Structure 1
Amino acid sequence: MKKIAVVAANGRVANKVITEAVSRGFDVTGFGRKENNTKAQHYVQKDLFDLTSEDLKGFDAVVDAFGAWTEETLPQHSTSLKHLCDILSGTDTRLLIVGGAGSLYVNKEHTATVMEGPDFPDAFKPLASAMGKALGELRERKDVKWTYISPAGDFQADGERTGKYLLGGEELTLNDRGESVISYADYAIAMVDEIEKGNHIQQRISVVRA
């Protein structure tokens, strides 16, 4: 049985990941600031920034589901990820990050991103930029077994669980219907599959509904 920790466990994506992992027989511990609202077998009420290496010792994988949306908290995408990397540095524990789609590339040269496109909503640019900056900093970490998983452009909280997805890489991937869409539930399947298989150490991957 794999032991995994989910940080910022009370969020909606985190809840889907926890539910998926528990249903497959994983031993899951949630860490969150608020009271437990998850299906994790174990729960620790503790802020991400207060976590120590001892807290995360013995886990096969840690899922980082941290999110911040206000102007003053957006820099925490970088600082929270750095903190988790620092306390996992040099260990065999894998770190899997719930990422964003804005930093996916739209050309083979990897010089243009989704968030730089003319149709990208202005309201989401600060968030996408903050998450893209955090990813860039993560790429410099050679001391952590990280995997960054970007969802499709249309990331649907209440979308159906189809049980199928396509695995992509650094570039925005469309399915055969020309869509870039995935539900939280199907994203969670991809996340837990990656925990099980561990095929993409120190890589960014992406997922889209099949």
Structure 2
Amino acid sequence: MKIAIIGASGKAGRVILEELAQRGHALTAIVRDATRTKHDTVLEKNAFELTTEELTDFDVVINAFGAAPGNEHQHVDLGRHLIDQLRGTSTRLIIVGGAGSLYVDPVKTVQLADTPDFPAAYLPTAKNQAKNLEDLQQTVDLHWTFISPAAFFDPEGPRTGKYQLAQDVLTVNAAGDSYVSYSDYAIALADEVEHHRHDKERISVVSK
């Protein structure tokens, strides 16, 4: 498939790009600064200026954008821009989401970001990513999947190839941990790219 990765030079974006490259997909890294990626095919452009014509050249667009501290609202702004550009098209949008919007109770009344121990430094990101998810859920003419990692999203963790999926409720693995490595998350995302099992859904990933 032809796949674009927005934020391909970021921590999660790089791992996702490597996983999809190993599977033989035709990848384009969309970055603001081409010197930050070693990938061969690069579109150097501000993501907020991407057009429908540019985006619909791909089968799948992955949004791995990471907002700098103080600019967390850009998760919402970019999300809305991508919705506007892709709605009514066949191009799929997959979002690297956060864990903060996952519910900690089965009746879905309390989100992880609203619990007392949630780190204050991550709260702006969590709230804005949650709003991005709400915008997607209110959009009917778009093929999207929002993929939340576990509470501990570990950039240094191993690539086990073993993961389990859930939906809106925070889940734990057999060891009782809400944990996923970047590499296992990338595997789960790549599997969703290839199999398209969760159209217009939020899913979450935990390493087994």
Q: So what's the TM-score if we normalise by structure 1? A: 0.95
Whole-angstrom CA distance in 1 between matches of 2:35 and 2:189: 21
User: Which SS does the other structure have where 1:199 is aligned?
Assistant: coil
Note the 1:21-170 alignment, pairs <5 A: 21-38=20-37, 40-71=39-70, 73-170=71-168
Letter of the aligned partner of 1:18 in structure 2?
A: L
Q: How large is the RMSD of aligned CA atoms in angstroms?
A: 1.2
Alpha-carbon spacing, 1:143–1:40, altered in 2? closer, same or farther (3 Å): farther
Q: Which runs of 4+ in 1 moved over 6 A?
A: none
List runs of 5+ in structure 1 lacking aligned partners: none
Contact 1:15 1:39 in 2 (8 A): no
How many residues of Structure 1 are paired with residues of Structure 2 in the alignment?
208
Alpha-carbon spacing, 1:39–1:23, altered in 2? closer, same or farther (3 Å): farther
- Alpha-carbon distance, 1:69 to partner: 3.5
Letter of the aligned partner of 1:125 in structure 2?
A: L
Q: State the identity %.
A: 45
Whole-angstrom CA distance in 2 between matches of 1:195 and 1:40: 20
Whole-angstrom CA distance in 1 between matches of 2:148 and 2:47: 21
The aligned residue for residue 11 of structure 1 is 10
Whole-angstrom CA distance in 2 between matches of 1:104 and 1:79: 21
1:202 and 2:180 correspond: no
- Alpha-carbon distance, 1:50 to partner: 1.1
Letter of the aligned partner of 1:5 in structure 2?
A: A
- Alpha-carbon distance, 1:57 to partner: 2.1
For residues 163-199 of structure 1, the C-alpha deviation after alignment (integer angstroms, 9 at most, x for no partner) is: 1111111110100100111111111111100000101
For residues 40-90 of structure 1, the C-alpha deviation after alignment (integer angstroms, 9 at most, x for no partner) is: 44111101011111111231110000111322x111111101111111111
Whole-angstrom CA distance in 2 between matches of 1:58 and 1:51: 12
Larger helix share, 1 or 2: 2
